[in-house]
A and B are shown apart, each in its own frame.
Chain A
């Protein structure tokens, strides 16, 4: 097997979006430990059903199997990785070195995030890095693409990535978010995945504003699977920038216990359908958070088959 992949092929995400097709991405959350069997199962399950898979990077500041290793694994298993890179655990040197490595192993798509804060995670006494943040990370990659590291030194062999970023449509207040969205584009972001969206009307308003700012950046709607009334209450109270509206909360509450998961599936399938039918955005990003095995059912219920799109 060849380990070094040098020629530049456009990543699937870029191909799909630039072709004007609707992008469907999923997400792989690596486990805490070396038992990666279940994750491999999830990768197999998703790889032909979504165009690409995000790999979270010590998500929620909880230490896990590395995102970069998982991205390579996905590649080896014939899937398409979208490598999440956060700035919390690595300084600019470490990030740049990782990106060089990622490029040589065929990773062509990165999602740039600042990262959650240390206190929300499970290593509460760790030192947070934040040497850079999302906007600067995008710039740093662009510099590397132009052949230089952030120290201004020339690279012997450069990189080229399809650069993604995050935007939070339900942030309060929204104005600074939109300015930051614009800055991310200016810094090199070519596409966006949104934080979890539930209120589709609010999402429509967000999309109008976003399109006014840029008609070039692709935007994919982030959807998180709802699984119980308790989860909804928890998210509404504790997860900033996430708001599950009344009617969805009621739909979940009204469902008998054994039908909660299927209700969540139905809700997400409906939202995916709405995004496609009303041409709200350029794609969806499905976050099943531990319930990856139901993603095929979600797609089926939404009538989405990427092979036929």
Chain B
């Protein structure tokens, strides 16, 4: 799940300065769960913008705004409202915003900050456990990610800042390395911790990342 938070309304208003007619896009998946771009938030945004004197030409919510073809289709289906708009306010992650970018030549504005790929721990509690490093090492660390859950991404054990299981950066956050150590100990696999991990390949996913399926049945036997 992509975790987003809402930008302050004043910031959104500033983005829309000089634009009278706005089309709002919300997302039925992540942004709905994060309560940043679901039905309720889109309706509220519409009302607040109208109260500020804007005209909302249309507002749609659909699954996977990040799906570019899907977004193009949704825009075609809502042709009139889309064409009447000066600009688009996108209430979901940065990927969704840029998906909308592919569907129009007009101004596109983000309504959210995109913060991390997160786990849902319970309603309204999200936690980053994977930072998409491109070369997963979970196998060696008891399925607890040192790259993400240790603030410094250390692969070889806790820093001197670990404090009774909490991280030096934030007493509210667990020290990832204490978690890993306890896990490996429980599993009787401390030998994995004893092993030295050399420099990590931080270019395993060279930015901007790109994956393309190989076509089956081509080239091979």
Q: Which residues of B contact A130 (CB under 8 A)?
A: 152-154
* B158:A92 contact, CB within 8 angstroms: no
Residue in B153, B157, B169 whose beta carbon sits within 8 Å of that of A176 in the complex: B157
Q: Given the complex, which residues of A lie within 8 Å of B156, measured CB to CB?
A: 133-136, 180, 183
B155 proximal to A (CB < 8 A): yes
Cβ-neighbour of A240 out of B154, B163, B194 (below 8 A):
B163
Q: CA–CA, A134 to B159, complex, Å?
A: 9
Q: Mark the stretch among B33-41, B70-78, B107-115, B195-203 that contacts chain A.
A: B195-203
Check if B161 sits within 8 Å of A116, measured CB to CB: yes
Taking the closest CB of chain B, its distance from the CB of A290, in whole angstroms, is: 21
Interface of B: prevailing SS: loop
Instruction: Evaluate contact between B169 and A133: CB separation under 8 angstroms.
Output: no
| Chain B proximity of A224: nearest CB distance (Å) | 13
Q: Does B158 lie within 8 Å of A176, measured CB to CB?
A: yes
The 8 A CB mask of A163-205 against B (1 = contact, 0 = none) is: 0001010011101110110110011000000010000000000
Assess whether B15 is interfacial by the CB under 8 Å rule: no
Q: List 19 A-B contacts (CB under 8 A).
A: A114-B159, A116-B161, A117-B152, A117-B169, A119-B169, A130-B152, A133-B154, A133-B156, A134-B159, A135-B156, A171-B158, A176-B178, A176-B193, A177-B160, A182-B194, A183-B156, A186-B196, A240-B162, A240-B168
A206 → chain B, closest Cβ, in Å? 13
Residues of A within 8 A of B133 (CB): none
Q: Are A117 and B154 in contact (CB-based, < 8 A)?
A: no
Determine whether the beta carbon of A136 is less than 8 Å from that of B194: no
| Least CB separation from B193: chain A residue | A179
Contacts of B158 in A (CB 8 A): 171, 176-177, 180
Q: Count residues of B near A (Cβ-Cβ below 8 Å).
A: 29
Q: Which 3 A-B pairs have the closest CB atoms?
A: A180-B157, A240-B163, A135-B156
A150 within 8 A of B: yes
- Given A92-B199, A140-B199, A173-B181, the answer on whether A179 and B194 have CB atoms closer than 8 Å is yes
Chain A residues with CB below 8 A from B177, complex form? 176
The answer to whether A116 and B168 have CB atoms under 8 Å apart is yes
Please name all residues of chain A whose beta carbon is closer than 8 Å to the beta carbon of B214 when the two chains form the complex: none
B163 and A172 contact, CB distance less than 8 A: yes
Q: Is B60 in contact with chain A by the CB < 8 A criterion?
A: no
> Counting CB contacts under 8 A, is B218 at the interface?
no
**Chain B contacts for A172, CB-based, 8 A:** 162-164
B137 proximal to A (CB < 8 A): no
A120 in the interface (beta carbon within 8 A): yes
Asked if B151 lies at the interface with its beta carbon under 8 angstroms from chain A, I say yes
User: Does any Cβ of B come within 8 Å of A48's Cβ?
Assistant: no
Contacts of A139 in B (CB 8 A): 196, 198-199
Is B13 interfacial (CB 8 A cutoff)? no
Q: Is the pair A114, B154 in contact by a Cβ cutoff of 8 Å?
A: yes
Give the contacts of A55-104 with B (CB-CB under 8 A): 88, 92
Contact A120 B154 (CB under 8 A): no
Residue among A131, A150, A187, A241 with most chain B CB within 10 A: A241
**Any B CB within 8 A of the CB of A17:** no
Cα–Cα distance between A115 and B169 once the two chains are bound (Å): 12
Contact, CB under 8 Å: B152 / A114: yes
B190 close to chain A: CB less than 8 A = yes
Chain B residues with CB under 8 A of A134: 156, 159
Contact (Cβ within 8 A) B154 A187: no
User: A128 an interface residue at 8 Å Cβ cutoff?
Assistant: yes
